[in-house]
Amino acid sequence: MKYDVCVVGSGAGGAPIAYELSRAGFNVVVLEKGKYYKEEDFSKDELAITRREMYKPKLEDEFHIINEKSEDGTITTYSGKEYNWSFWNGSMVGGSSNLMSGFFHRLKPNDFKLLSTFGEIKGANVSDWPISYEELEPFYAKVEKVIGVSGVAKAHSFLEPRSSLDFPFKPLQENGVTQWFDKACDVLGYESIPTPRAILPQNALSRSVCSYSNFCGSYPCATGAKGSARAALLQQCNAKIIPEAFVYELKSDDKKVTHALYYDAKGDSHTIEANLFVVAAQAIETSRLLLNSKNRYFPNGLANNNNQVGKNLIFSAGGVGEGRFIFEDLNLDEQKTLMQRGLFFNRSLQQWYEYENGGKHQKGGTIDFLFEHANIISKAMREVYDDSGNILWGKALEEKIKKSITTSRVLTFEVFNDWLPTDDCYVSVDEKQKDKYGVNVGVINLYAHPHDLKVGEFLAQKAVKVLEQMGARTISMSISSSPPPNLVAGGCRFGEDKETSVLDRNCKAHALENLYVTDASFMPTGGSVPYTWTIYANAFRVAEHLKEVLKRN
Torsion of CA 293, 299, 302, 308, to 10 degrees: 130
Q: Which residues contact 422 (CB under 8 A, 6 or more apart)?
A: 123, 124, 125, 312, 447, 449
Please give the biggest Cα pair distance in the chain: 74
Write down the mean pLDDT value for the chain.
96
For residue 259, which phi and psi values (nearest 5 degrees)? -145, 150
CA-wise closest residue to 276 among 17, 496, 523, 495: 17
Task: Please report, as a single letter, which amino acid is at residue 64.
Answer: H
The pLDDT value recorded for residue 53 is 78
At residue 269, the 3 state secondary structure works out as: strand
Strand partners of residue 480: 318
Torsion of CA 508, 509, 513, 519, to 10 degrees: -50
Q: Count CB neighbours of 118 within 10 A.
A: 16
The pLDDT value recorded for residue 49 is 74
CA-wise closest residue to 8 among 261, 234, 229: 261
Task: Tell me the CB-side half-sphere exposure of residue 552, using CA atoms within 13 A.
Answer: 7
CA-wise closest residue to 522 among 499, 533, 506: 506
Q: Is the separation of the CB atoms in 61 and 50 below 8 Å?
A: no
Helix, strand, coil shares of the chain, percent, nearest 5, are 30, 25, 45
Q: Which residues contact 314 (CB under 8 A, 6 or more apart)?
A: 418, 419, 420, 421, 425, 488, 489, 490, 523, 525, 526
CA-wise closest residue to 232 among 209, 207, 201: 207
Strands of the sheet containing 65-69, edge to edge, are 75-79, 65-69, 440-446, 426-434
The pLDDT value recorded for residue 46 is 82
The pLDDT value recorded for residue 87 is 96
> Cα dist. 262→9, 33, 64, 245, 282 in Å?
12, 9, 20, 6, 16
Q: Count CB neighbours of 326 within 10 A.
A: 17
For residue 456, which phi and psi values (nearest 5 degrees)? -60, -40
The pLDDT value recorded for residue 322 is 98
The pLDDT value recorded for residue 50 is 66
Q: Count CB neighbours of 176 within 10 A.
A: 14
Q: Which residues contact 360 (CB under 8 A, 6 or more apart)?
A: none
- Residue pLDDT, tens place only, 236-246: 999 999 999 99
Q: Is the separation of the CB atoms in 102 and 225 below 8 Å?
A: no
Q: Is the separation of the CB atoms in 503 and 130 below 8 Å?
A: no
pTM score, two decimals? 0.97
The pLDDT value recorded for residue 44 is 86
All structural domains of the chain, each given as residue ranges with its CATH number in brackets, are 2-552 (3.50.50.60)
- Residue pLDDT, tens place only, 288-333: 999 999 999 999 999 999 999 999 999 999 999 999 999 999 999 9
Task: Please report, as a single letter, which amino acid is at residue 376.
Answer: I
- Residue pLDDT, tens place only, 213-256: 999 999 999 999 999 999 999 999 999 999 999 999 999 999 99
Residues of the chain with pLDDT under 50: none
CA angle centred on 70, ends 80 and 289, rounded to 5°: 40
- Residue pLDDT, tens place only, 444-494: 999 999 999 999 999 999 999 999 999 999 999 999 999 999 999 999 999
459 Cα distance to chain centroid: 20
